């Protein structure tokens, strides 16, 4: 198909673009309803010539579209009518049926690239976007208290400018692939505000529906705007105030309860936002829609799995209590005492200090016995009721059962955490003590101001005393190291168990189940950009198509979470903490719940 332009009085040597709905044939007749953006003409629908121009102007009075021209005018149709908006942008498109299009314009006389597009179905939540669909965070803080709130508007403007430049660059590529459509040595005039084009295409179905309704009724009334729609969108805050963060950090169950209540409290505000039709942020509304239904699906599946888990726990609470009591007694009391006695009796032939080893072993055994007598034995008596209560709580979701299991593990191993912290402090002090004595031994000292070791002069009695202390610390260090490695090993096992439970909570709380379903069922509801595909009609015709998001984008949060988990629980980092005496702690559950990047 050949696209020509009739010469006009003025020439601008620019290449313009015509966005045309694919459901309207070029041999039809009617007024063009659309908009002009720079050198680009975007057509939303065709109005029949039987309608008066004044009525059509009244139909699109409060819309971004207007009458911009006519297609294949009839003989009795005026060649250049005078609509309310003026006739300076009025165009006439003539299709002669042989593959040639003639466009009359008052300002351009160059060739035009025709881009066909399918109207996005608003009923099916289809739309186009220059960037991947936004994924709003579950918990949003108040922007006024953020130090970066002053630059939010400028950042949004910069983001939109980058989108415009990106799509404009795509259109510029047409001239490289089809050089016979570009004039040599003349810069092509491509639209800068490409985001306006996408917004127009997204609203084209609404413009088409408005025209059909206007023709059917001939009495269009402006749609009332309820005051509830104009209410400010409340920011979603955590259920608990920030001053109670320290309390939340103590219990995984409270953290999970906070996450679930925040999700439930966000449903009304999300629903109000997705039903706010006057809001121009279509991508934001669709993102809220996806996040709302993804949360609903996750909560529903969590409750379904939780009911099954709760039934198992409540029906087998006595059997599970006996099994749990045996293993808690074995691994948190008996096995720990055996390991302490083995460490105190020359492990693997390593000669340790008897007095220091007996003191460490006695203190650790006293801590284990105290926790066993005053806490665990009393807990064993009510363990069936605790399991039955956990099953009752899990009826609200299997995540609550995992959270209760994490808290029970914390309580059952609290004495091991105390022993580990004591030996960590002792090991850290021993390392610092050896570092200071080693500097004295080699005649150096640490300069605090310059943060370096420098040569120093010591008196004879200082050198002798430092050498004696250094020798004593060297001989006591293997004993401290042996008990420290024992407690650190138990701590690593407990931390890894907490990590597995935390990963399960993150999967059940934030798995993009609804997003994955949409990706395979209806990819048009998850756009990540647009592309231009040449069509068979001719070299000047292209098809504007939607590019759905990829699986890498859908699971980007889990990729980030997995990166955080592998970084936190990496063997290299654990070895570094072990060698330096730094405490080993599990990854906070809130870091996985309140992501996100």
**Rounded mean pLDDT of 506-516?**
84
**Rounded mean pLDDT of 551-558?**
76
pLDDT at 12 over 90: no
Task: Name beta bridge partners: 31.
Answer: 47, 70
Q: What are the backbone dihedrals phi and psi of residue 521, each rounded to the nearest 5 degrees, phi first?
A: -85, -45
Structure tokens at 165: 């430049």
| Confidence at residue 68, expressed as pLDDT on a 0 to 100 scale | 74
Task: Band the pLDDT of 2: cuts 50, 70, 90.
Answer: very low
DSSP letter for 376, please: I
3-state class percentages of the chain: helix first, strand second, coil last, to nearest 5: 55, 10, 30
Structure tokens at 494: 């407990």
**Rounded mean pLDDT of 52-81?**
66
How many helices (H) and strands (E) are present in the chain, helices listed first?
A: 20, 12
**Rounded mean pLDDT of 440-459?**
80
pTM: 0.65
Gap between the Cα atoms of 242 and 78, Å rounded: 69
Structure tokens at 478: 């293997």
pLDDT at 297 over 70: yes
| Confidence at residue 312, expressed as pLDDT on a 0 to 100 scale | 93
Gap between the Cα atoms of 515 and 513, Å rounded: 5
Task: Band the pLDDT of 310: cuts 50, 70, 90.
Answer: very high
Task: Band the pLDDT of 41: cuts 50, 70, 90.
Answer: confident
E strand spans, 105-207: 112-117
Gap between the Cα atoms of 118 and 240, Å rounded: 47
**Rounded mean pLDDT of 116-133?**
72
pLDDT at 453 over 90: no
pLDDT at 118 over 90: no
Lowest mean pLDDT among 63-72, 85-94, 344-353, 456-465: 85-94
Q: Which of the pair, 544 or 158, is modelled with greater confidence?
A: 544
How many C-beta neighbours within 10 Å does residue 199 have? 22
Residue 191 near residue 37 (C-beta atoms within 8 A):
yes
| Confidence at residue 315, expressed as pLDDT on a 0 to 100 scale | 93
- The two most distant CA atoms of the chain are separated, in Å, by 118
| Confidence at residue 272, expressed as pLDDT on a 0 to 100 scale | 82
**Rounded mean pLDDT of 29-43?**
77
Task: Band the pLDDT of 174: cuts 50, 70, 90.
Answer: very low
Gap between the Cα atoms of 518 and 385, Å rounded: 43
Task: Band the pLDDT of 61: cuts 50, 70, 90.
Answer: low
Query: Residues with Cβ < 8 Å from 48, sequence gap 6 or more?
Result: 29, 30, 31, 215
Task: Identify the three-state secondary structure at position 136.
Answer: coil
Task: Name beta bridge partners: 42.
Answer: 19, 35
Query: Residues with Cβ < 8 Å from 572, sequence gap 6 or more?
Result: none
Q: Which range has highest mean pLDDT (3-12, 44-53, 341-350, 411-420)?
A: 411-420
From the number of C-beta atoms within 10 Å of its C-beta (0-12, 13-18, 19+), residue 298 rates as: buried
pLDDT digits 0-9 by tens, 246-266: 677 778 888 888 888 888 888
pLDDT at 219 over 90: no
Residue 70 near residue 41 (C-beta atoms within 8 A):
no
Task: Band the pLDDT of 135: cuts 50, 70, 90.
Answer: low
**Rounded mean pLDDT of 353-368?**
92
What is the domain partition of the chain in residue ranges?
A: 2-144+156-217, 317-509+560-593
Where helices occur in 226-281 by DSSP H, the ranges are: 245-248, 252-274
Which single residue is written with the structure tokens 């969108």?
233
For the four alpha carbons of 508, 511, 515 and 520, in that order, the dihedral sign comes to: negative
| Confidence at residue 563, expressed as pLDDT on a 0 to 100 scale | 77
Task: Band the pLDDT of 277: cuts 50, 70, 90.
Answer: low
Question: Alpha-carbon dihedral of residues 534, 538, 539, 540, nearest 10 degrees?
Answer: -90
Peptide bond into 596 cis (omega under 30): yes
Task: Identify the three-state secondary structure at position 207.
Answer: helix
| Confidence at residue 180, expressed as pLDDT on a 0 to 100 scale | 43
Gap between the Cα atoms of 288 and 274, Å rounded: 6
Q: Which range has highest mean pLDDT (182-191, 280-289, 431-440, 474-483)?
A: 474-483
Residue 51 near residue 218 (C-beta atoms within 8 A):
no
**Rounded mean pLDDT of 345-363?**
86
Task: Identify the three-state secondary structure at position 95.
Answer: strand
| Confidence at residue 331, expressed as pLDDT on a 0 to 100 scale | 93
Opening angle at CA 361, ends 360 and 364, nearest 5 = 85
Gap between the Cα atoms of 230 and 286, Å rounded: 18
Structure tokens at 522: 């209806």
DSSP letter for 586, please: P
Residue 397 near residue 303 (C-beta atoms within 8 A):
yes
**Strands 2-5 and 66-71, how do they pair?**
unpaired
pLDDT at 151 over 60: no
**Rounded mean pLDDT of 14-38?**
75
Gap between the Cα atoms of 265 and 260, Å rounded: 9
Where helices occur in 30-179 by DSSP H, the ranges are: 53-59, 152-177
227 alpha carbon, distance to own chain's centre: 32
pLDDT digits 0-9 by tens, 395-423: 999 999 999 999 999 999 999 999 999 99
pLDDT at 531 over 90: no
Peptide bond into 166 cis (omega under 30): no
Secondary structure (H, E, C), 543-584: EEEEEECCHHHHCHHHHHHHHHHHHHCCHHHHHHHHHHCCCC
| Confidence at residue 142, expressed as pLDDT on a 0 to 100 scale | 38
Task: Band the pLDDT of 244: cuts 50, 70, 90.
Answer: low
Average pLDDT, the chain: 74
Q: What are the backbone dihedrals phi and psi of residue 595, each rounded to the nearest 5 degrees, phi first?
A: -65, -165
Task: Name beta bridge partners: 453.
Answer: 446
pLDDT at 300 over 70: yes
How many C-beta neighbours within 10 Å does residue 517 have? 13
Task: Band the pLDDT of 583: cuts 50, 70, 90.
Answer: confident
Lowest mean pLDDT among 275-279, 395-399, 435-439: 275-279
Residue 298 near residue 509 (C-beta atoms within 8 A):
yes
Query: Residues with Cβ < 8 Å from 529, sequence gap 6 or more?
Result: 129, 130, 131, 132, 547
Residue 224, sorted as left (phi over 0), alpha (psi -120 to 50) or beta, turns out to be beta
Percent of the chain with pLDDT strictly greater than 90:
23
Q: Which range has highest mean pLDDT (88-97, 151-160, 273-282)?
A: 88-97
Lowest mean pLDDT among 222-226, 344-348, 497-501, 522-526: 222-226
Structure tokens at 569: 């629980």
Structure tokens at 287: 């993102």
pLDDT at 188 over 50: no
pLDDT at 228 over 50: no
| Confidence at residue 517, expressed as pLDDT on a 0 to 100 scale | 86
| Confidence at residue 332, expressed as pLDDT on a 0 to 100 scale | 92
């Amino acid at each position: 198909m050949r696209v020509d332009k009739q010469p006009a009085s003025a020439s601008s040597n620019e290449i313009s673009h015509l966005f045309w709905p694919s459901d309207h044939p070029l041999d039809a007749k009617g007024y063009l309803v659309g908009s002009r953006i720079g050198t680009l003409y975007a057509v939303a629908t065709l109005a029949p010539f039987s309608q008066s121009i004044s009525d059509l102007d009244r139909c699109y009075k409060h819309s971004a579209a207007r009458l911009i021209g006519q297609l294949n005018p009839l003989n009795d149709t005026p060649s250049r009518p005078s609509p309310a908006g003026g006739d300076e942008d009025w165009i006439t498109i003539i299709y002669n049926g042989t593959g040639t299009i003639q466009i009359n314009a008052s300002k351009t006389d160059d060739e035009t690239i025709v881009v066909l597009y399918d109207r996005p179905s608003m009923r099916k939540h289809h739309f186009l976007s220059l960037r991947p669909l936004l994924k709003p965070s579950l918990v949003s803080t108040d922007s006024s208290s953020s130090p970066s709130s002053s630059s939010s508007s400028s950042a949004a403007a910069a983001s939109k400018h980058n989108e415009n430049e990106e799509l404009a660059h795509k259109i510029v590529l047409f001239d490289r692939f089809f050089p016979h459509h570009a004039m040599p040595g003349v810069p092509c005039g491509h639209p800068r505000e490409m985001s306006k084009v996408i917004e127009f295409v997204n609203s084209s179905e609404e413009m088409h529906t408005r025209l059909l309704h206007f023709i059917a009724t001939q009495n269009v009334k402006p749609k009332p705007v309820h005051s509830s729609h104009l209410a400010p969108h409340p920011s979603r805050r955590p259920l608990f105030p920030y001053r109670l963060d320290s309390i939340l950090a103590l219990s995984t169950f409270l953290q999970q309860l906070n996450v679930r209540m925040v999700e439930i409290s966000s449903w009304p505000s999300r629903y109000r936002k997705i039903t706010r039709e006057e809001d121009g942020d279509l991508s934001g509304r669709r993102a809220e829609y996806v996040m709302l239904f993804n949360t609903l699906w996750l909560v529903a599946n969590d409750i379904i799995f939780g009911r099954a888990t709760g039934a198992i726990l409540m029906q087998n609470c006595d059997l599970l209590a006996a099994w749990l009591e045996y293993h808690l007694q074995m691994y948190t009391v008996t096995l720990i005492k055996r390991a302490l006695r083995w460490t105190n009796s020359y492990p693997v032939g390593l000669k340790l200090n008897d007095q220091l080893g007996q003191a460490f072993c006695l203190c650790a055994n006293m801590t284990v016995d105290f926790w066993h007598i005053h806490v665990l034995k009393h807990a064993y008596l009510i363990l069936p009721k605790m399991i039955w209560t956990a099953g009752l709580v899990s009826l609200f979701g299997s995540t609550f059962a995992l959270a209760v299991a994490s808290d029970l593990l914390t309580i059952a191993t609290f004495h091991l955490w105390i022993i580990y912290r004591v030996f960590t402090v002792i090991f850290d002090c021993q390392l610092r003590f050896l570092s200071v004595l080693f500097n004295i031994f080699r005649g150096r000292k640490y300069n605090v101001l310059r943060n370096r070791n420098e040569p120093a002069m010591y008196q004879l009695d200082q050198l002798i005393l430092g050498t004696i202390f250094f020798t004593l610390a060297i001989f006591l260090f293997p004993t401290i190291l042996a008990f420290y490695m024992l407690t650190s090993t138990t701590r690593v096992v407990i931390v890894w168990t907490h990590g597995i439970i935390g990963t399960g909570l993150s999967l059940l709380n934030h798995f993009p189940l609804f997003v994955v379903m949409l990706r395979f069922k209806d990819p048009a509801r998850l756009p990540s950009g647009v592309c231009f595909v040449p069509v068979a009609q001719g070299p000047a015709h292209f098809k504007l198509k939607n590019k759905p998001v990829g699986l890498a984008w859908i699971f980007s949060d889990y990729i980030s979470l997995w990166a955080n988990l592998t970084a936190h629980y990496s063997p290299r980092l654990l070895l570094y903490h072990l060698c330096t005496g730094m405490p080993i702690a599990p990854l906070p559950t809130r870091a996985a719940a309140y992501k996100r990047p």
